[in-house]
């Protein structure tokens, strides 16, 4: 599919990956139109899109994906939906799961129904590797498109529910869908409740970095712009009805090692690590096998973790205003509830 001259509905475009994707599209496609539908929950931030707010190709609509009337109205002019909007933080889903079900499951169904009614050209659903559950610490084992769904947290269960609805709209109604299941993203504009920006901003504030349990859990880290390119490739070359798994370049680095690399970049010692209570039901390891996307789409993540961490540290150093506003607001009470201190 040629992406220029199309109108995109980006849901959740004021969040971390959605805003990176909007910047990516507007940089690459001169004739594109982008509508960003976002409720602006605690995780949505229009500051992420300050530089494009007056771009004639871009329009922001503040609204909820669960609002069927609004969604139906917006969908009238849309060619392609890229659906990022979700409640996304595992720890918050453990504290208060209800919004995860209504936004991630019901909200997705509202979008699918409107997309079907308006006969859009493509509905691309952004999902996660967390729907596959957890792997042992064996580098030979990875998730792929055939791995059964075995989610373990309210967040991942709600994302799995959404994935299955997307599949059902393809099988039952023929809605032209594609899905990507992606590993842990990091980079600019990530809300500082997630491990990497939390670590960097805590260190910039002279605080310790809380590491759950013994820090042995492993994630598959993906530079956010590599993810954006992967989505673009699926839209351009992906087959309707198919799922593609998109992972990062390395996948055996545990949380303690990630934090130690950040400490080295920032010139801090290991005294800044604090081992804290583990996350309930904490998945041990995620790792993605991207072979299908590599072979069929030419997908290849380019940015290795060390380089990506350097760039991310630099971004948070240069954008103190952005994260200091977040950390001094409502986020403070979440932090105290989660970690038990200021």
Instruction: Choose from ligand DAU, ligand NAD, none: what does 212 bind? Cβ within 5-8 Å by kind.
Output: ligand DAU
Q: Is 212 helix (H, G, I), strand (E, B) or coil?
A: strand
- From the CB of 270, what's the least distance to ligand NAD, in Å? 25
User: Would you say the C-alpha torsion 150, 90, 127, 73 has a positive or negative sign?
Assistant: positive
- From the CB of 36, what's the least distance to ligand DAU, in Å? 19
Residues within the interface to ligand DAU (CB under 6 A) = 88-90, 128-130, 183-184, 194-195, 198, 210-212, 217, 219, 255, 279, 286
The structure tokens listed for 105 are 């499951």
Instruction: Choose from ligand DAU, ligand NAD, none: what does 263 bind? Cβ within 5-8 Å by kind.
Output: none
* Selection from 144, 183, 162 nearest residue 283 by Cα: 183
d(CA 10, CA 59): 10
The structure tokens listed for 14 are 């004021």
Asked if 305 is part of the footprint of ligand NAD (rule: CB under 6 A), the reply reads no
Residues acting as catalytic residues: 129-130, 155
Give the DSSP letter string of 101-158.
Answer: IIIIIIIHHHHHHHHHHTT-SEEEEEEEGGGG----S-TT--B-TTSPP---SHHHHH
Q: Is 125 or 260 the residue whose CB approaches ligand NAD more closely?
A: 125
Asked if 16 is part of the footprint of ligand NAD (rule: CB under 6 A), the reply reads yes
Q: Is 16 or 132 the residue whose CB approaches ligand NAD more closely?
A: 16
Instruction: Choose from ligand NAD, ligand DAU, none: what does 35 bind? Cβ within 5-8 Å by kind.
Output: none
Tell me 285's DSSP state. Answer: B
Tell me 77's DSSP state. Answer: T
Q: Is 134 or 178 the residue whose CB approaches ligand DAU more closely?
A: 134
Q: Is 127 or 272 the residue whose CB approaches ligand NAD more closely?
A: 127
Query: Angle formed by the axes of helices 108-117 and 154-173, to 10°?
Result: 20
Q: Which residues bind ligand NAD (CB under 6 A)?
A: 11-12, 14-18, 38-41, 43-44, 64-66, 84-88, 103, 107, 126, 128, 159, 182, 184-185, 191
């Amino acid at each position: 599919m040629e992406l220029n001259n199309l109108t995109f509905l980006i849901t959740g475009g004021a969040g971390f990956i959605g805003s990176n994707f909007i910047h990516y599209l507007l940089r690459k496609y001169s004739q594109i139109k982008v509508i960003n539908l976002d409720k602006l929950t605690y995780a949505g931030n229009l500051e992420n899109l300050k530089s494009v707010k007056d771009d004639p190709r871009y329009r922001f609509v503040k609204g909820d994906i669960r609002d069927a009337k609004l969604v139906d109205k917006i969908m009238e002019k849309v060619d392609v939906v890229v659906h990022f909007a979700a409640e996304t933080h595992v720890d918050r889903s453990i504290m208060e799961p209800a919004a995860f079900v209504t936004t991630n499951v019901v909200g997705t169904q509202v979008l699918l129904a409107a997309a079907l009614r308006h006969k859009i050209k493509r509905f691309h659903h952004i999902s996660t590797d967390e729907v596959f559950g957890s792997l042992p610490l064996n580098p030979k084992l990875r998730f792929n498109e055939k791995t059964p769904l075995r989610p373990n947290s309210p967040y991942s269960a709600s994302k799995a529910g959404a994935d299955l609805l997307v599949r059902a709209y393809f099988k039952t109604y023929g809605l032209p869908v594609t899905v990507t299941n992606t590993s842990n993203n990091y980079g600019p504009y990530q809300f500082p409740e997630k491990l990497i920006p939390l670590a960097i901003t805590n260190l910039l504030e002279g605080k310790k970095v809380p590491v759950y349990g013994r820090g042995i859990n492993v994630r598959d880290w993906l530079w956010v712009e590599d993810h954006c390119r992967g989505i673009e490739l699926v839209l351009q070359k992906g087959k309707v009805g198919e799922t593609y798994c998109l992972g990062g370049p390395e996948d055996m680095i545990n949380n303690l090692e990630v934090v130690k690399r950040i400490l080295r970049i920032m010139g801090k010692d290991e005294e800044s690590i604090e081992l804290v209570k583990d996350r309930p039901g904490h998945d041990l390891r995620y790792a993605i096998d991207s072979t299908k996307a590599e072979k069929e789409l030419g997908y290849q993540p380019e940015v290795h973790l060390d380089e990506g961490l350097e760039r991310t540290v630099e971004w948070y150093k240069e954008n103190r205003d952005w994260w200091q506003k977040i950390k001094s607001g409502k986020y403070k009470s979440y932090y105290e509830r989660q970690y038990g201190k200021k």
